[in-house]
Amino acid sequence: MLILTEGPMTKLPNPVLLGVIGAPHGVRGEIRVKPFTADPLSLGDYGPLSDAQGRRLTVEAIRPAKSVVVVRFKEITTREAAEALNGVELFVDRSALPAADDEDEFYHADLIGLEARDETGAPLGRVTAFHDFGAGDIMEIMPVSGRAVLVPFTRVAVPVVDIQAGTVVVDRQAAGLDDGSASGDGE
């Protein structure tokens, strides 16, 4: 059994996903990690990382390697231990992250769950996820009924983000929704 931390495991109250562990790198426990941070090398800057069960990992060293980073965690010293972590998601608590520097910068975790409305105020649904397929952030909205829709997360398609009010405003035309793809009334 792999133990990643001493003492009781505690789950984070407000977890934010920072990366996913991939395959081992070498024989001494280094691991490839797909980071979701703006600066991939900042993965360890927010303190120890936790998995979904509350086990903790501490970044000792990190270096870039193509589209991932190679990380040496203090708690992982063998290839076998590294292999056991393949696919594990790594989180920090939201409180460990700095405030956004710019009024146009947002953490995806702060946007998920917000109500999406169109420019007339009509409800579109709720923000459920963000994706990046290589051409920029895509916001996923789940309407009250029907299938999820994907909207480019740009200033033109999503001109208003009001975290305090719990809403985002989507410009239907700019987002490509003029055909009625998203409708809060089930039409």
Query: The CATH number of the domain where 85 resides is what?
Result: 2.40.30.60
Residue 130, in any domain of the structure:
yes
Same domain, 83 and 115: no
Asked if the structure places residue 4 within a domain, the reply is no
Q: 115 and 68 in one domain?
A: no
pLDDT of residue 105: 76
Query: How many Å apart are CA 24 and CA 76, to the nearest integer?
Result: 11
Structure tokens at 102: 């710019």
Q: Which H helix or E strand runs over 83?
A: helix 79-83
Q: Which domain holds residue 19?
A: 15-96
* Judgement on whether residues 81 and 131 belong to the same structural domain of the protein: no
- Region 72-91 average pLDDT: 94
Q: Please report the pLDDT score of residue 10 as a whole number.
A: 72
Residue 45 maps to a domain? yes
Q: Is 120 exposed, middle or buried (0-12, 13-18, 19+ CB in 10 A)?
A: exposed
**Considering the domain boundaries, does residue 1 fall inside one?**
no
Last residue of a domain, one of 69, 96, 123: 96
* Total count of domains within the chain: 2
Same-domain check for residues 134 and 161: yes
Q: Can you tell me whether residue 184 is helix, strand or coil?
A: coil
The predicted structure's pLDDT at residue 145 = 85
SS3 letters for 15-37? EEEEEEEEEEECCCCEEEEEECC
Residue owning tokens 């009924």: 145
User: What pTM did the predictor assign?
Assistant: 0.68
Q: How many CB atoms lie within 10 A of CB 77?
A: 13
pLDDT digits (tens, 9 = 90+) for 121-168: 999 999 999 887 777 889 999 998 889 999 999 999 999 999 899 999
Round to whole Å and give the CA distance between 124 and 145. Answer: 10
Residue 40 is classified by DSSP as: G
The model's pLDDT over 4-45, given as tens digits with 9 standing for 90+, comes to 444 445 778 888 889 999 999 988 899 999 998 888 999 989
pLDDT at 130: 87
Q: What is the pLDDT of residues 92-112, one digit of tens each?
A: 988 888 776 667 778 888 899
Are 85 and 114 part of one and the same domain? no
